Amino acid sequence: MTGTDTHSNAPIGVFDSGVGGLTVARTIVDQLPHESIIYIGDTANAPYGDKPLAQVQEYAKAVADELIARGCKLIVVACNSASAAFSDYARENYDIPVIEVILPAVRRATSTTRNGKVGVIGTTATVESGAYARTFDAHAGQIGSEVEVHQQACPLFVPFVERGITTGRQILGITENYLEPLKDAGVDTVVLGCTHYPLLSGVVQLVMGDDVTLVSSAEETAKTVYRTLSERGQLADTDPDREVTLSFESTGDPARFASLATRFLGPAITSVSQIPELLR
């Protein structure tokens, strides 16, 4: 499938089932301030994390097709559950870059770990998909360096983040319970395998200790976007008079999306438009 407009000033398309992918969008804005972005939160079908992967793939395809139809030069699947379900399909069926959040984080974690033991925390769907374990195995085959992967589902993290609860005794206790197996396994690196989780990096670091390195899939994905556009000669021009647009859209209630989004992107969210649900 071919995008309709892949010149350098075309927008970057970013999507997630909801607001979590805004941590990716925010990092892209920070690293690439001259790029225009269309962000779609598929909140009508959220959350993706507790749905079958085949269904998630259909939702992701519908949103990606919409972004391509609008002329995006690159698409970011800013959702670990959608990345697990959609990445193979995207690589086979699209001829513009589609960047997901799993491989960039795996690359960083592999290069960061000192003892070869890496923890991955994510939604139940992401963990059960085995996508991180497969990606670590594939990457190890490419570089000749194996990693022992320990995965832990943290299903309560997303609702806590969306309620704005990122500190306090309750979230600390939940985090200690979730991360105990990773501490027992002796991991020295933990991948924040959900785009909501950077907002919990403080409590995760506190529980794991300062000797454990946290890898943000959002941060590493933004770096991959920068590198990909640079290699393709598609970085937007830096003319200060050229308008840069940041568009935020939701397939569900835009008011609720905007309220949640301010926790992830702050005052940059000035308005949210509603678009029709793309796959019913």
Cα gap 80→78, rounded to integer Å = 7
Helix (H) and strand (E) counts in the chain: 11, 10
Was 36 annotated as part of a binding site?
no
Was 135 annotated as part of a binding site?
no
Was 59 annotated as part of a binding site?
no
Was 253 annotated as part of a binding site?
no
Was 197 annotated as part of a binding site?
no
CA 154 to centroid of chain Cα atoms? 16
Was 196 annotated as part of a binding site?
yes
Q: Which residues lie closer than 8 Å to 151 by C-beta, 6 or more apart? A: 119, 120, 121, 122, 127, 132, 133
Was 195 annotated as part of a binding site?
yes
**Positions marked active-site:** 79, 194
Was 49 annotated as part of a binding site?
yes
DSSP string computed for 57-100: HHHHHHHHHHHHHTT-SEEEE--HHHHHHHHHHHHHH-SS-EEE
Both tokens of 266, joined, read: 């702050």
* Binding site members for substrate: 16-17, 48-49, 80-81, 195-196
* Binding site members: 16-17, 48-49, 80-81, 195-196
